Amino acid sequence: MEKYLKPEEVCDLIPGMTIGLLGQMRYRGDGPAFIKPSPRKVVYAASEIERYMASKQQTRTAAVA
């Protein structure tokens, strides 16, 4: 069965991530996919965090146009 992480646990896994930044990313829709099992609860599938981190992998520091 899939492991689900609380936002605090996600912040522990992603360097530099904070609860506030994670919330902003949910609002903008540019963060890792999340699940809302109830109106006031948010969780993240561990596999989605891995996928999100892999999507941020880069080979250069210069911005690509």
User: Are the beta carbons of 31 and 52 closer than 8 angstroms?
Assistant: yes
Residue 64: pLDDT band (50, 70, 90) is low
Give kind and range of the element (H or E) at residue 35: strand 35-38
Buried (b) or exposed (e) across 16-28, using 16+ Cβ within 10 A?
A: ebeeeebeeebee
Q: Is the pLDDT of residue 65 over 70?
A: no
pTM of the model: 0.86
- Enumerate the H helices of 1-65 as residue ranges: 7-13, 19-28, 46-55
User: Are the beta carbons of 11 and 23 closer than 8 angstroms?
Assistant: no
pLDDT in tens, 17-34: 999 999 999 999 999 999
> Domain limits of the chain?
4-55
